[in-house]
Chain A
Amino acid sequence: MLWAALLPDSLPDDPQRRTEALDGLATWCLQFTPRVAVLEALLQCPAVVMEMEQSLRLFGGKRRLVERVREESRDLGVRQLSWAPTSLAALAVARAGLSNGFAKPLAQLLDALPLETLTQVATHQATLARLGCRTLGQVRALPRGGLSRRFDSQLLATLDQVYGLRPETYPWAQLPETFHAKLELMARVEHAPAILFGARRLVLQMAGWLMARRSGVTAFTLRWCHDAMRSKSAGDGGELTVRTAQATRDTEHLIRLLAEHLDKVELLAPVGDLELLATEVQSLEEKSFSMLPEARQSGESLALVLERIAARLGPDRVLRPVILEDHRMEWMCRWRPAPEPAPRARSCMVEVPQPTFILAKPLRLATQNNRPLYQGVLQLLAGPHRVEGGWWDRTTQSEEGERVGEGKGKGEGAPAPASPETTRHSARDYWVAVSEHAGVLWIFQMRLAKEETAWFLHGTFA
């Protein structure tokens, strides 16, 4: 049996909060094994113990499992992590400040430990000390009959359990159906990014919970409560919901996403408490490892990194195209945020030549002898290609409204609702033009008011 005992650091004194904190730690432990128990929750030095013998193979061997538990438990605020063949022995070893209970034969190791390491023995410490007992070994050397008569049955039972002579029974910790965890910060935090330090612990717990439930999260909410010394206008606190496109329980990714979002948050008052909720949870399919060595996928997937970039730059800056069935250049292609699912139907291909870069708004070109100028005189090559229509495409967009307003010479900025309904009708003759400096261009000629025509640059064949 491989038992681990975890002694958490700096628990709150309030019994309810104390239980919650221990349950949080137990939830994290449940990802490794279902045999997790909280010991002596309300006493001086509580602990969480778990038995991991059966999980060794799943987590890649004893060494890797121990490494992982040690790494992650440090972030969770575990003061002492110890290993031993029985749960109480692990606890005693942990309280004595040692970590490896396998260093010597168990009896030899335990005999040297002081009485305070076991609560049931420590209650009789005064009497035992007068008998001349200072270590567990000395207590065990006393005659069993006398011990059971003079002290309560607990003492002997505990001693037997520690040395592995009697089975241990525990009420196992249950995995909660939903995840919410609270954390009281060590110090008041005034800047949002500094919350991350505390939030990391909660995210780790959540990752443990997700792992135990074999699921991933698509949305989670971080709430913070301002402390009591806030101004009235600041309110109670705030919350931030982070969404991911794919269900995940990758701690590093979740924390990076949270960091990007927290960068934009401005706290109205110092924060005292944090709370984390897993709001949308989906079951996650496990990928089994291949027996054969395969091409190693280093790094993260594209969706994850795009999500992170979108979190910093804004969702409308990471874009994927959608082809629309329109013959007018501006509405041939629409860009939508990358995480949105792609439309199923593939639209048909346009056969006419099309540029590869387009300008957001056509650029009016100067002319010389009726020839368009753009970094020199342009040589028209192929054309005209007539694009006309769009009377069905009604819009009341302010941009269009402005253009209509300009055309009529009325400059007073009409608000968008008041602008008249118009259509995106266009009648243009497109040409392929070439310039020695600017390359191959896609320009069009359009008729303006008063029998005037004008040339516009709309794209480049780059």
Chain B
Amino acid sequence: MAISLLWADGENTPPVPQSFTPSGVAQRWPVGLPHAVEAAIWRGDALGSPVASTLGTGFEALDAELPGNGWPCQSLTEVLQVQPSVLEWRLLAPAMRVVVAQGKQIVVVGPPKAPHLPGLRHLGLDERQLVWVNADKPVERLWATEQLIRANAAGMLVSWLPQARQEQIRRLQVCAQSCDGPVILCRPESAAHEASAAPLRLQARLGVDWELHVHLLKRKGPPHEGELRLPSIPGGLETVLTPRLRYPSRLIAARQCRELSHAVGSPSSRQPSGRPAAAH
């Protein structure tokens, strides 16, 4: 679009561009707009402005891609993963730390495994500000989640809803509009194919090299392409990681290489070359 404009300007009226002083915004807009109008216009390639407040995620790269620069409050956020209990705390803990610092409570509903508090403490959580609602059946999970959202009493609510249906999520989203804290729903990857009323949905998976790979499936704004790589080392492990352990993928690759050479080269002369490597 910018190119066509320049071309049009150049052909018809050469003196006009000088009077306009095309720099930045003026290049895209042939007529200079008053500042108030400029501020009120939402462009298609900009991130949508959130109606509600947000809570910073603690990851700068992720904040930059989210409308409002953080987890949205007063609405649902879906985190989709291939299997549960792999990266939830690592993804959410930086935001939880802020909630805890404000003295609010964190409620988790139906996590797939028992939360282990010493580990959570490494992430900065406090035992006095964590409540675990151990609900097993899908109905119980939904009911407890809805009650907590309606009560609007928790600083942050994380709920594992592996079997929730579309209309149930919609119902929660309607309730969540009056809830002041972020509501995070952890759902399986297969839910990515269903429509969902949650305004923000992200797919998260684990990178071996102490990273989280996040793809924003749905957000207010243009579609997100590619994956964000967020550095994340689980709490307490920083102290024991040596430089060699910073890249476990290299260790795995080396091991696979050894195994491969071991398996493929067994009848031929490659076996002796593989053995010393394994011995080291």
Chain A residues with a Cβ under 8 A of chain B:
298-302, 304-306, 308-309, 312-313, 316-323, 329, 332-333, 335, 338, 342, 349-360, 377, 379, 381-382, 432, 434, 436-440, 459-462
- Asked if B131 contacts A432 (CB within 8 A), the reply is no
Does B240 belong to the interface (CB within 8 Å)?
yes
- Asked if A333 contacts B83 (CB within 8 A), the reply is no
- Asked if A313 contacts B135 (CB within 8 A), the reply is yes
For A459, what are the chain B residues with a Cβ–Cβ distance below 8 Å? 113, 116, 119
Give A319 to B252 CA distance when docked, in angstroms. Answer: 39
- Asked if B121 contacts A349 (CB within 8 A), the reply is yes
- Asked if B255 contacts A353 (CB within 8 A), the reply is no
* Size bracket, chain B contacts: 35 or more
Does B206 belong to the interface (CB within 8 Å)?
yes
Distance in angstroms from A433 CB to nearest chain B CB is: 9
- Mark out the residues of chain B between 50 and 100 whose CB falls within 8 Å of any chain A CB in the assembled complex: 82-83, 85-90
- Asked if A437 contacts B82 (CB within 8 A), the reply is yes
Which 8 residue pairs of A and B lie closest in terms of their CB atoms, listed nearest first? Answer: A299-B152, A353-B236, A302-B153, A461-B234, A305-B151, A354-B119, A356-B119, A357-B113
- Asked if B151 contacts A332 (CB within 8 A), the reply is no
Give A352 to B239 CA distance when docked, in angstroms. Answer: 9
- Asked if B252 contacts A379 (CB within 8 A), the reply is yes
Return the CB mask of B195-214 against A: 1 if under 8 Å, else 0. 00000000000101000000
- Asked if A462 contacts B85 (CB within 8 A), the reply is yes
Return the CB mask of B217-251 against A: 1 if under 8 Å, else 0. 00000000000000000111101110001001001
- Asked if B239 contacts A461 (CB within 8 A), the reply is no
Does B105 belong to the interface (CB within 8 Å)?
yes
Smallest Cβ-Cβ distance to B111: which chain A residue: A357
Q: Which of B22-30, B122-130, B268-276 contacts A (4 or more CB under 8 A)?
A: B122-130
- Asked if A357 contacts B135 (CB within 8 A), the reply is no
Q: A381-B248, A461-B237 are in contact. Are A439 and B150 (CB under 8 A)?
A: no
Smallest Cβ-Cβ distance to B255: which chain A residue: A379
Q: A352-B236, A440-B234 are in contact. Are A358 and B206 (CB under 8 A)?
A: no
Q: Which of B3-11, B12-20, B35-43, B140-148 contacts A (4 or more CB under 8 A)?
A: B140-148
Partner among B127, B208, B239 whose Cβ is within 8 Å of the Cβ of A322:
B127
Give A434 to B111 CA distance when docked, in angstroms. Answer: 21
Return the CB mask of B172-200 against A: 1 if under 8 Å, else 0. 00000011000000000000000000000
For A434, what are the chain B residues with a Cβ–Cβ distance below 8 Å? 208, 248, 252
Give A356 to B158 CA distance when docked, in angstroms. Answer: 15
Q: A321-B132, A333-B117, A461-B237 are in contact. Are A299 and B140 (CB under 8 A)?
A: no
Does B120 belong to the interface (CB within 8 Å)?
yes
Does B216 belong to the interface (CB within 8 Å)?
no
Partner among B87, B111, B121 whose Cβ is within 8 Å of the Cβ of A439:
B87
- Asked if A356 contacts B115 (CB within 8 A), the reply is yes
Q: A302-B105, A434-B208 are in contact. Are A313 and B144 (CB under 8 A)?
A: yes
Q: A298-B152, A323-B127 are in contact. Are A353 and B122 (CB under 8 A)?
A: yes
* 13 chain-A/chain-B pairs, Cβ below 8 angstroms: A298-B178, A299-B150, A299-B151, A299-B178, A305-B147, A306-B131, A318-B131, A319-B133, A320-B131, A349-B121, A353-B237, A354-B116, A462-B85
Give A321 to B234 CA distance when docked, in angstroms. Answer: 20
Distance in angstroms from B131 CB to nearest chain A CB is: 6
Distance in angstroms from A340 CB to nearest chain B CB is: 12
Q: A360-B114, A461-B119 are in contact. Are A305 and B153 (CB under 8 A)?
A: yes
- Asked if A354 contacts B122 (CB within 8 A), the reply is yes
Give A319 to B87 CA distance when docked, in angstroms. Answer: 22
For B150, what are the chain A residues with a Cβ–Cβ distance below 8 Å? 299, 305
For A309, what are the chain B residues with a Cβ–Cβ distance below 8 Å? 133, 144, 147-148
- Asked if A318 contacts B134 (CB within 8 A), the reply is yes
Additional 5 contacts, C-beta under 8 A, given A319-B134, A320-B130, A323-B118: A317-B133, A321-B127, A357-B114, A358-B116, A437-B82
- Asked if A382 contacts B140 (CB within 8 A), the reply is no
- Asked if A350 contacts B118 (CB within 8 A), the reply is yes
Give A302 to B156 CA distance when docked, in angstroms. Answer: 12
- Asked if A302 contacts B85 (CB within 8 A), the reply is no
- Asked if B89 contacts A356 (CB within 8 A), the reply is yes
- Asked if A462 contacts B87 (CB within 8 A), the reply is yes
For A313, what are the chain B residues with a Cβ–Cβ distance below 8 Å? 133-135, 140, 144
For A356, what are the chain B residues with a Cβ–Cβ distance below 8 Å? 89-90, 115-116, 119-120, 123, 234-235
Most buried by A among B83, B119, B123, B154: B119
